[in-house]
Copies of this chain bind each other. A is one copy, B any other.
C-alpha cells in the first residue's frame, strides 16, 4: 500500500493541535496552511473519512445547542506515528508553482500593451493585498513561542510577497519607459 497523498498528512497534521470537525478545519486551514496548501472543502471531508479508514483518526458526533451537530475527528497514536514518519522522511516532494500571468508575459509581444500593463498592475495590487494580510498575521503571532514554526512559514510568504511586489513595480516601470519612447 502506497503512501497516501500529501493532503492526507496536511489534514492529519491539523488534528495534532486539537480535535476538530471538517468545517472547523476548513476555517482554520484558510488562515494558516492555506497559503501554501489549500484543499477544497469537499476534499477535506473526503480525507477525514480516509483518516478514519486508515485508523489514523477516530470520529465522534458532538451534539450542540444553538448550532447544527458536528462530527469531530481525533488523531490516534497510529496517526501520530504515521505523521512523524512522513515529517522525518528526508524525501520532500518538490514544490509546484504555476503562473498563468508569467505565461502570458512570456508572449507579451503579442499582447495589447494596455492589457499587459493592466494585468501586471493587478498582480502588483494582489501582492500588496497579500502582504498587508500577512503583516497583520505577523503582528498577531510573532511573539507566540508556540507558533514558532508557523511563524517561519509566514516569513517565507512575506519574503515572496515582497519579491513579487518589487518585481511587479520594476516590470511596470520598464513597460512604461518603453512605451514612452
Report which A residues bind B (CB closer than 8 A): 6, 9-10, 13, 16, 32-33, 36-37, 80, 83-84, 86-88, 90, 92-112, 115, 118-119, 122-123, 148-150, 152-153, 155-156, 159-160, 162-164, 166-167, 170-171, 174
Complex CA gap A159/B167 in Å reads 7
This chain: how many copies in the complex? 2
A57 to chain B minimum Cβ distance, whole angstroms, is 15
Residue pair B36, A149 in contact (C-beta under 8 Å): no
Residue pair B88, A115 in contact (C-beta under 8 Å): yes
Given A103-B36, A160-B160, is A110 in contact with B84 using a C-beta cutoff of 8 Å?
yes
Residue pair B95, A110 in contact (C-beta under 8 Å): no
